[in-house]
Amino acid sequence: MPELPEVETIARGLAPLIVGRRFTDLTVLDPRVFPGGQAAFRRDILDREIMRVFRRAKLLMVELADGARVAFHLKMTGRVYVAEPAAAPHKHLRVLLGLDNGRALHFQDMRRFGTCRGFAPGGMENWDFYAGLGPEPLTLSPQDFASALAGRSGRIKALLLDQTVIAGVGNIYADEALFAAGIRPDTRAADIPGPRLEALLAALKDVLCRAIQAGGSTIRDYRTAEGVEGAFQWSFKVYGKSGQPCPACRGPLRSQTVAGRTSTYCPACQH
């Protein structure tokens, strides 16, 4: 699933291609992509100037001139990119949004879990999922990070993955940040003292920023808006490397399930 760095990379790549343009028409090849319905989307989104493209949590956002917004939730295999007029449609293409320069914004999704929603001005705040998102990790202060975790008995890895606690972090970057901070993924949040929480937040920000600089991580399907694979997977310290030597102590990395997700860690370096 694209996480914060991947969606941020896509947003930055799309912005120079579509800001200032307008969506002129909508072609829907899979109606399941629109849980909010197509009629309202056509009414609220088409023929309005695109003002900016940005990210909130793992959502790819397009804001229009009057404050209307489009939200793409890429889920596991969604991809959004600009296609040339003569480009053949991808076999997993689900939605095509025509642009006023003859190009089109394509949303393809092999697994068909991704969604697209349109919101009239102010309407997004009434979407329960959006309203319930936690703070962004890259702008989070140590004090607010500590407050978000204060008194929680949940495992730290589970809380990092909980989008209502911290928005945008997924399995990859939680594992990498916990290793950098020397904290086991199954540690109770309430048992982590303040200085170690501060170190964890610093590690999380560092990992996320480096991943954005590398264009995200491509494990299988993820591509940037330009169709390029990310490169941060070559910098993984622990994610997906159970049984391999720890890059710090050379002992074997182990894995366990936390919050239903496989977590890889070093039992010697993380405690």
pLDDT at 185: 98
Q: Is pLDDT of 47 > 80?
A: yes
- Of the residues 55, 56, 58, 155, which is catalytic? 58
Give me the mean pLDDT over the 218-234 stretch. Answer: 94
Domains of the chain in sequence order: 4-131 (3.20.190.10), 137-265 (1.10.8.50)
pLDDT at 79: 96
pLDDT at 4: 98
pLDDT at 37: 87
pLDDT at 33: 95
122: number of Cβ within 10 Å = 10
Q: Is pLDDT of 1 > 80?
A: no
Q: What is the dihedral of CA 124, 138, 11, 130, to 10 degrees?
A: -20
Give me the mean pLDDT over the 195-209 stretch. Answer: 98
pLDDT tens digits for range 54-112: 999 999 999 999 999 999 999 999 999 999 987 888 999 999 999 999 999 999 999 99
Averaged pLDDT score across all residues of the chain = 96
| Reported pTM | 0.95
Read off the DSSP letter of residue 72.
Answer: E
SS3 161: helix
Give me the mean pLDDT over the 197-206 stretch. Answer: 98
Give me the mean pLDDT over the 37-59 stretch. Answer: 95
- Of the residues 2, 5, 137, 185, which is catalytic? 2
Active site residue 3: yes
pLDDT at 88: 85
Q: Is pLDDT of 207 > 90?
A: yes
Order across the sheet with 93-99: list the strands. Answer: 23-28, 93-99, 104-109, 78-83
Distance CA 37, CA 31 (A): 8
- Of the residues 75, 210, 261, 267, which is catalytic? 261
Give me the mean pLDDT over the 253-257 stretch. Answer: 97
- Of the residues 3, 6, 63, 176, which is catalytic? 3
Active site residue 75: no
pLDDT at 133: 97
Give me the mean pLDDT over the 222-244 stretch. Answer: 96
pLDDT band at residue 36 using 50, 70 and 90 as cut-offs:
confident
CA distances from 191 to 124, 151, 155, 183, 188 (A): 36, 9, 10, 11, 5
Q: Is pLDDT of 220 > 90?
A: no
